[in-house]
Chain A
Amino acid sequence: MLQYIAQRLLLLIPTFVGITFLAYAIMLLAPGDPVDLFFAGGLGAGTEGIDSDRLAEVRADKDELRRELGLDRAIPVQYALWLRRLLQGELGTSFKDRQPVWDKIRARLPVTIIINVAAIVLTYLIAIPLGIYSAVRSGSRFDQLSTLTVFMLYSLPVFWIGTLIIIFFGGGDFFAWFPPGGLRSLDWEPSWPWWQKLSDYAYHLAMPLLCTTYGAFAALSRFMRTSMLENARQDYIRTARAKGVSEPMVILKHMLRNSLIPVITILAGLLPALIGGSVIIETIFSIPGIGQLGYQSVLARDYPVVIALFAASSFLTLIGILFSDIALAWVDPRIHFGKGRA
């Protein structure tokens, strides 16, 4: 097993290099570069009516900035330099404000992690019992209702629900039950007791958390129910019942355990999906997290930040896949390591 994991980890390296190089190349091949953007005017600015001396000066300044940022080199060279710095534990500095990239990321990490971990925990806590109940009482009114609800939730775009919540419950012309965004109230003070700070925090995170959770929840509980129903028809379930195993035992021990196998695999996909989702959620609710940082950096063409976030999320995705493969092999004795990979 260790050998298999080591083998997979080794294979991760070329994949990771391939992905990050791809991202690097795409960014640098795009028309226009950050330097054009910094020199106000950007892509669309015309050069007519500016005298040629001044223009040459600007061009020289731009070239100097490009040299300074390392943008004048060939793409593979830039990439190699980036990779070398990464191996030394360096993520570089932001083009935008010359801050170390890691500092920028670290400052924004906690809130994104809190939202996503809370969302995953909530999702599994609700979806698994619901999936079990729905499958056990398959065809009942409760099952039909919950299946329909989950199906609707599954198709509801997060950015729509987020916008609607803000419009109808976040101040504005309707109700002002929740803050429309941000992390702290206007009258927030450092002298507040911890419970007041905590409840203020929770008050601000309630709506973003709701939006993050329902999408993942819908995907997972649909999966859970199908998985349970598929197992319910298997012969071993009939065998278990026939030999007199009690019904709760049949469901919890035989059916559930096997049904969890595909649910584990979905965890691998859930992580990157939540990272992507953070961009939308954090933009809608103005939450200073990783998603917002990524989106703002993309717009500002702050390549060091973008590539760092890209590398981090592809690393997480790859680890997620590896983790779910290992977990799968661990819970399902029929899957053998290394051999018979289809």
Chain B
Amino acid sequence: MSAKPQTYRGRVWAELRRQKRAVWGLGMVLTLAFVALFADFIAGGTPLYLRIDGQSYFPLFREYAASAGLAKLPPALAGADFRALNQHAEAAVWPPIPYASTSVDITGEVFAPPSAQHWLGTDALGRDVASGMVHGTRISLTIGLVVVAIQATLGIFLGGLAGYYGGWIDIALSRLFELMLGIPTFFLIITVAAIFPPSIYLIMVILGLTGWIGIARFIRGEFLKVRSLDFVTAARAIGASDTRVMFGHILPNAVAPVLVSMAFGVATAILTESALSFLGIGVPQHLVTWGSILAESRASTFAWWLAVFPGAAIFLTVTAYNLLGDGLRDALDPKLDVR
């Protein structure tokens, strides 16, 4: 009895770490998450620290506190143009990319190629591309994660319902699944995105509502397979409620492949959002995302930096999630263990 008992989760984790690609993918995903979380510290028009007239300010933290409703901006900073204030500041600490993603650089230099000042150049309005890329990470990842959360919730819930209860519930829901399968998804998404006023939430909702069908069908199949096994009968015999049997006993058996599908789902969602923004019907105009920067390059083909960098960011992010999904799938599949 000296060997440690190995849990399923522990085994999957160990297997995942053996997959070089998955480790790479995970590393990239975490890096992107870091960039998204600390976007304001990496790029932005608000300094971290500012000393004016012997007075010290921490404008960025103040802004956070203010937006959380915890504090008010000091009068000296409210509505201030930090770049103007910077002229007579005694000391200032700026983010490494000291430009806001959405506002125009004070020099107003449009279509500036990459330089020491603007690392990745500026766009048609003189907005800093590097800053747009950093803040675009936040938007892309948020959309990807929210969309997948909607998809997984809907898919698990509806699929579980159909598979667990069977009968007419299953018949009715299976009709719905079939209906969803027959929808030309991308065309529907384009239609909805184009005729409703643009908004991030709209994108999240339509991508979420159109992409759950794969998970639902899988979960339904798993529930159908498992529901008559002994452990389910045993759980029912001791008086566990339906919800508890469904989510406490059956679902854990089926959750791993859903994780794989969620990893791929994030990649797809980010890709679709960028495509919509590229077509000009994605996020609202005032927001800067990878897709919207890329869209600008269509009208100004000489500005190659507007195409190369955001596209590369989309590519890397999609690759990261695909690598993770691939690695996870291999780690979860006992059949593939051929070494």
Residue B186 lies at the interface, judged by CB distance under 8 Å to chain A: yes
Q: Is the interface of A mostly helix, strand, loop or mixed?
A: helix
Interface positions of A from 92 to 136, Cβ below 8 Å from B: none
B281 to chain A: which residues have CB within 8 Å?
299
Residue B197 lies at the interface, judged by CB distance under 8 Å to chain A: yes
Inter-chain contact A159/B184, CB cutoff 8 Å: no
A276 to chain B: which residues have CB within 8 Å?
184-187, 190
**Are A160 and B179 CB-contacts (below 8 A) given A23-B188, A310-B188, A342-B221?**
no
**Are A309 and B187 CB-contacts (below 8 A) given A173-B304, A298-B194, A321-B182?**
yes
**Are A280 and B279 CB-contacts (below 8 A) given A157-B311, A167-B301, A309-B187?**
yes
B175 to chain A: which residues have CB within 8 Å?
14-15
Inter-chain contact A156/B186, CB cutoff 8 Å: no
**Are A173 and B302 CB-contacts (below 8 A) given A154-B322, A159-B275, A163-B307?**
yes
* Interface 9-residue window, one of A26-34, A49-57, A186-194: A26-34
Inter-chain contact B322/A151, CB cutoff 8 Å: yes
**Are A306 and B191 CB-contacts (below 8 A) given A19-B179, A276-B184?**
yes
Residue B112 lies at the interface, judged by CB distance under 8 Å to chain A: no
Number of B residues with CB within 8 Å of any CB on chain A: 45
Inter-chain contact A310/B319, CB cutoff 8 Å: no
- Min CB distance, B284 to chain A, in Å? 13
Inter-chain contact A275/B187, CB cutoff 8 Å: yes
Residue A168 lies at the interface, judged by CB distance under 8 Å to chain B: yes
- Min CB distance, A308 to chain B, in Å? 12
Among residues of A, the one whose C-beta sits closest to the C-beta of B180 is A19
The 0/1 profile, CB within 8 Å of B marked 1, for residues 4-34 of chain A is: 0000000100111011001100110011100
Q: Per a CB cutoff under 8 Å, which of A157, A163, A230, A306 touches B297?
A: A163
Inter-chain contact A15/B196, CB cutoff 8 Å: no
**Are A27 and B195 CB-contacts (below 8 A) given A155-B267, A157-B318, A172-B302?**
yes
Residues on B close to A: CB < 8 A? 175, 178-179, 181-188, 190-192, 194-197, 221, 224, 267, 271, 274-275, 278-279, 281, 294, 297-298, 301-302, 304, 307-308, 311, 314-315, 318-319, 322-323, 326, 335, 338
Interface positions of A from 21 to 80, Cβ below 8 Å from B: 22-23, 26-27, 30-32, 43
Among residues of B, the one whose C-beta sits closest to the C-beta of A269 is B181
Interface positions of A from 303 to 342, Cβ below 8 Å from B: 306, 309-310, 313-314, 316-318, 321, 342
Which one of A43, A272, A301, A309 has the greatest number of beta carbons of chain B within 10 Å?
A272
- Min CB distance, B166 to chain A, in Å? 12
**Are A155 and B315 CB-contacts (below 8 A) given A30-B196, A317-B183, A318-B182?**
yes
Inter-chain contact B279/A295, CB cutoff 8 Å: yes
Inter-chain contact A152/B319, CB cutoff 8 Å: yes
How many A-B contacts at CB < 8 Å in the complex? 136
Among residues of B, the one whose C-beta sits closest to the C-beta of A34 is B195
Inter-chain contact B279/A283, CB cutoff 8 Å: yes
Please, how many angstroms separate the alpha-carbon atoms of A22 and B274 in the complex? 25
Inter-chain contact B195/A298, CB cutoff 8 Å: yes
Contact size range, A = 35 or more
Please, how many angstroms separate the alpha-carbon atoms of A108 and B72 in the complex? 59
Inter-chain contact A313/B187, CB cutoff 8 Å: yes
Residue A205 lies at the interface, judged by CB distance under 8 Å to chain B: no
B297 to chain A: which residues have CB within 8 Å?
163, 167
A313 to chain B: which residues have CB within 8 Å?
184, 187
Inter-chain contact B196/A167, CB cutoff 8 Å: no
Residue A251 lies at the interface, judged by CB distance under 8 Å to chain B: no
B224 to chain A: which residues have CB within 8 Å?
342
The 0/1 profile, CB within 8 Å of B marked 1, for residues 247-281 of chain A is: 00000000000000000000000001101110110
Please, how many angstroms separate the alpha-carbon atoms of A132 and B175 in the complex? 37
**Are A155 and B304 CB-contacts (below 8 A) given A284-B298, A295-B279, A306-B191?**
no
A299 to chain B: which residues have CB within 8 Å?
194, 281
A342 to chain B: which residues have CB within 8 Å?
221, 224
- Min CB distance, B126 to chain A, in Å? 20
Please, how many angstroms separate the alpha-carbon atoms of A178 and B59 in the complex? 51
Please, how many angstroms separate the alpha-carbon atoms of A247 and B250 in the complex? 44
Residue A208 lies at the interface, judged by CB distance under 8 Å to chain B: no
Please, how many angstroms separate the alpha-carbon atoms of A263 and B48 in the complex? 55
B308 to chain A: which residues have CB within 8 Å?
164
Inter-chain contact B184/A314, CB cutoff 8 Å: yes
Inter-chain contact A31/B184, CB cutoff 8 Å: no
Q: List 20 A-B pairs, Cβ < 8 Å.
A: A22-B179, A31-B196, A155-B322, A159-B274, A163-B298, A163-B307, A173-B301, A230-B335, A272-B185, A276-B186, A279-B186, A295-B190, A298-B190, A301-B195, A309-B187, A314-B182, A317-B181, A317-B183, A318-B182, A321-B181
Please, how many angstroms separate the alpha-carbon atoms of A295 and B314 in the complex? 23
Inter-chain contact A279/B187, CB cutoff 8 Å: yes
Residue A243 lies at the interface, judged by CB distance under 8 Å to chain B: no
Which one of B187, B190, B281 has the greatest number of beta carbons of chain A within 10 Å?
B187
Inter-chain contact A314/B183, CB cutoff 8 Å: yes
B302 to chain A: which residues have CB within 8 Å?
172-173
Among residues of B, the one whose C-beta sits closest to the C-beta of A294 is B187
Residue A216 lies at the interface, judged by CB distance under 8 Å to chain B: no
**Are A159 and B186 CB-contacts (below 8 A) given A151-B322, A154-B322, A306-B191?**
no
